[in-house]
Amino acid sequence: MRNRSGQAAIIIAMAMLGAGAAQAERQNVSVGGFSLANGRPTLTSDDGTFSVQFRALLQFDAANYNASGSGPDLESGQNLRRLYLGIQGNAFGDLRYVLTGDFGSSNGKTNTGRIQSAYLEYQGLAPFALRAGVYPTPVGLEDSTSASDTPFLERTAPSDVLRKMAGGDGREGVSLLYTAERLYAALSYTAESINEQGIATGQQAIVARFAQVAYASADVHLIMAAETTYLFQAAEPLGSGGQQRISFFASPEVAVDRNGTNLVSTGSLAAGRAHAWGVEAGAAWHNLFAQGGYFAYIARDRIAPLPDAHFTGWYLEGSWVLTGEAREYLTASGTFAAPKPARSIASANGWGAWELAARYSDLNLNDAPGLAGSPAPKGVRGGEQRAWTVGVNWYPNAFLRFTLDYQHIVSNAIASALPYAAHDLHIDALSLRTQFAL
């Protein structure tokens, strides 16, 4: 049976909708005009209390993997990474709604559709807001950056591990948000993902995220951020006999392989709780951008006499917009947005915006792993993944983007079962993304 606590978000969202409907009974609402708000088709009522805006995001990826050494194989090919179709807007004045479906695939396999976001947000207590439903939980600086705005095809493996613990698309939750010019804060309760029901049940967590503008001027934004996730009740996978389990894992930072291969993974750890925290910083100075972060992950309450297991990860990335545009700081999410071309290719002498980017990430899922060929009775042999990425982004206009990335990945791990063999895998990946965002 599904855990009842996971229904809290739906109950609160329905209560918020009911309160708004009661207010609407006292209003005369009529249909207003059609507009293109930020290029998006929008319908608004005459009194401005109701609106609907149509949203879409298409990302099509192609990648080629060239591997050497020992380890799992990655399959080259193409992948409809994301196909978001949805609506958003305001209802009854202070109530915001979002409904988005995803018809893409995170691992190159066929996806018949799933919920990306479906939530209500009450904004009548600004700068505070209350959000309830299913949505990507605000977890961290890179995690909260829109998938259409990240400098590379994918988020880093270290931040993705944190995202998967209690966030990601379709996560049931309730969040209290604070959004001001210099401070973004979010405190969330989350349950299981609506897209993973039937796989595991019972997960509950508290997630907190803060982003402070340490310095701001016309040409500079410096952001300091911190986040923590406390998984106070781990999920019980179906078939586990009621045993709570936790898994930390990450795929290469290119999601085309149809096998969904994870080069590093702790496997399923028998543990009742987990804790993770991170610190991140980001800065935009004119047309230069830099961002980085450090994370720690801990599996707790393991079966005695096993101790807590500790893992770490970090990343550093930067970009230079050759055509002079800057990455803008967004107060609504406490993140940076992709540069908007000052002159699109449709204008006279327009080349759009061109951006060069580079990144390094390191994810270490080893805890007292021991030596190859030997058992590690109290250790975890999740492996270590290091990735170097360079890329170029071309933004022909405000809607289109083309990204070409080259990535060198090194993965090392020791098997957790006999003969305790080690794998040492080197991968060179070349990938291309075509993106349309509305």
Summarised one tens digit per residue, pLDDT across range 53-102 is 999 999 999 999 999 998 888 999 999 999 999 999 999 989 999 999 99
Q: Which fold has domain 56-82+122-437?
A: Porin (2.40.160)
Average pLDDT of span 128-148: 97
Per-residue model confidence (pLDDT) at position 335: 97
Is 25 a residue whose pLDDT tops 90? no
Quick one: pLDDT band at residue 7, thresholds 50, 70, 90?
low
**Domain residue limits, the chain:** 56-82+122-437
Q: What is the pLDDT of residue 38?
A: 72
Alpha helices in 25-151 (DSSP H): 141-144
Q: Is it the case that residue 366 has pLDDT exceeding 50?
A: yes
CB-count burial class (<10 Å; 0-12, 13-18, 19+) for 361 = buried
In this predicted model, what pLDDT tens digit does every residue of 221-241 receive, in sequence order? 999 999 999 999 998 887 777
Residue 368's Cβ-side half-sphere holds a number of Cα atoms within 13 Å equal to 10
Instruction: Judge whether residue 30 has pLDDT over 50.
Output: no
Pairwise pLDDT comparison (202 vs 317), residue with the higher score: 317
Contact 47, 30 (CB under 8 A): yes
- Average predicted confidence (pLDDT) for the chain: 90
The position carrying tokens 């990648």 is: 63
| 295 confidence band (pLDDT: 50, 70, 90) | very high
pLDDT > 70? residue 10: no
Q: Say if residues 216 and 182 touch (Cβ distance below 8 Å).
A: yes
Q: Which residues contact 144 (CB under 8 A, 6 or more apart)?
A: 136, 138, 209, 333, 334, 335
Q: How many CB atoms lie within 10 A of CB 26?
A: 6
pLDDT given for residue 29 in this prediction? 38
Per-residue pLDDT reduced to its tens digit, 116-134 = 999 999 999 999 999 999 9
Model confidence at 40, pLDDT cuts 50, 70, 90, reads confident
Q: How many other CB atoms sit within 10 Å of the CB of residue 113? A: 11
Average pLDDT (364-385) is 93
Give pLDDT, residue 19.
44
Q: How far apart are CA 50 and CA 16, in angstroms?
A: 15
Q: What is the pTM of this model?
A: 0.90
Cα–Cα distance between 158 and 407 in angstroms, integer? 16
